Amino acid sequence: MTVLNKASVLPADLPGHLVFEFSRFADGLMPSFALAAVGAIRKNIHHMVTRFDKKLDSAYVANRLITNPPEDVAELVRELLVSECDNAIGLESVADQYLDKVAVGKWLSKSTDVIKPQAYGKKIVDMPLLFLLLKNGINDRGVRTDAGELIGFPGEQRNKVSIALAGDEGKSKEAELGFSRLVVFKREAFGDTKLLGAEGWLPSLTTGTLLRLREGEANRYFICLTPACDTLRLLKETPFVFLEAVIDDNCYSLILKEEDGNSRGLYFREKHPTLMTYSFLPSDNHQRVRGERQSPEGGRPFFTFLTTNSNQRFTWLGEVRYARAASEMAKLAGNWMRIGINDSEYLRLMENGKFKV
């Protein structure tokens, strides 16, 4: 929000001030992309409204009346609209224009006063190397010059790129943590996600829900791995499966922000995982497990889930994007499904391209 004093800003100068203030929204690659994406959706509103024609009203109502639970149909239509928004952004090539090589090159050129070269071994991450990375990309060994010469760049040193771009290690860590949370979380309890919109919104317990359990002075963290289809149409007390996370702020699978503003790293073990089962009662109206809103006096509202089998109250920390939660499930399954030696070692190496015939 911007407040202008009428005595210091002449009416004739007001349009210029407004344009300047609005331009600040687009100051950066990511803000520019977001604004352009919103603009693309707005440009395609007519097409989107046409797709959701009133002729479909009877079909929607019919499906809602014969579906159990009926709220699933409204959720389906919401997802269809989100898909149309994605189509609009794709049709206008927003990502190509605002996030691809040309845009990044302009950003690098504009940021020369912020970028601070970083040494690794006898080499250095500087503007020439950054532009070389942008132009030629990187592989497991490093980056090649235009002449084909390899500049070694080991993986354990590649964080120097982020530090150089941010200007120092503290700013780099803050930016990387924020980006990591954006990638992992669909919704956050104590992050940047807007949660308090329509009256009565409550989180549902589903695949990827992240919960915290307080036991004495210690916190335990769990991610729900119950398949999403098994979290709907619930008529009675239902058990949910959770994978417990290990607290590790140095080596983690995801990073979250807690109510005190501090970041917490959580690591999900593929080998020797701790799996827990807790039971919950579904909401009669929605036939799914819904959270309860807690509104402490003078504090920030938050949501909890109460178990039925142990009467334990979990704090809702957010919802991990489905693909990421499914990836953790796949890692567990892959580890458990290891068969051992079941083939010729020569044939295995041949399949991996280790030999030339």
**Are residues 196 and 140 located together in one domain of the fold?**
no
Which pLDDT score is estimated for 342?
62
**Are residues 88 and 124 located together in one domain of the fold?**
no
278: left (phi over 0), alpha (psi -120 to 50) or beta: beta
**Are residues 66 and 130 located together in one domain of the fold?**
no
| Domain membership flag for residue 118 | yes
Helix axes 71-91, 29-43, angle to 10 degrees: 110
> Last residue of some domain: 98, 118, 144?
98
Which pLDDT score is estimated for 356?
67
Tokens of 133: 């990375």
How many beta carbons lie within 10 A of that of residue 179, not counting itself? 13
| Domain membership flag for residue 85 | yes
Which pLDDT score is estimated for 318?
96
| Domain membership flag for residue 49 | yes
| Domain membership flag for residue 122 | yes
**Are residues 116 and 60 located together in one domain of the fold?**
no
In b/e form, how buried is each residue of 298-337, taking b as 16+ CB within 10 angstroms?
A: eeeebbebebeeeeeebbbbbbbbeebbbebbebbeeeee
Supply the pTM of this predicted model.
Answer: 0.82
Sign of CA dihedral 72, 78, 82, 85: positive
**Segments forming the whole domain that contains residue 34:** 18-98
Which pLDDT score is estimated for 15?
73
Question: Residue 69 contacts by C-beta under 8 Å, 6 or more apart in sequence?
Answer: 232, 233, 286, 287, 288
Q: Amino acid letter at 277?
A: T
CB 239 within 8 A of CB 292: no
Which pLDDT score is estimated for 311?
82
Q: Which of 291, 273, 271, 272 is nearest to 281 (CA)?
A: 291
Give 152's strand partners.
142
**Are residues 118 and 77 located together in one domain of the fold?**
no
**Are residues 278 and 308 located together in one domain of the fold?**
yes
**Are residues 191 and 332 located together in one domain of the fold?**
yes
> Last residue of some domain: 53, 73, 98?
98
Which pLDDT score is estimated for 322?
92
Which pLDDT score is estimated for 113?
93
**Are residues 151 and 208 located together in one domain of the fold?**
no
| Domain membership flag for residue 131 | yes
**Are residues 124 and 86 located together in one domain of the fold?**
no
| Domain membership flag for residue 74 | yes
Which pLDDT score is estimated for 188?
94
Q: How many domains does the chain have?
A: 3
CB 277 within 8 A of CB 240: yes
**Which H/E stretch holds residue 39?**
helix 29-43
| Domain membership flag for residue 173 | no
**Are residues 214 and 329 located together in one domain of the fold?**
yes
**Which H/E stretch holds residue 42?**
helix 29-43
The pLDDT averaged over each successive group of 10 residues in the chain (357 residues) is 70 70 74 93 92 95 90 90 94 94 95 95 95 95 94 95 96 94 94 77 94 93 94 91 93 92 91 92 88 86 90 95 91 76 72 72
**Are residues 272 and 314 located together in one domain of the fold?**
yes
**Are residues 191 and 320 located together in one domain of the fold?**
yes
| Domain membership flag for residue 355 | no
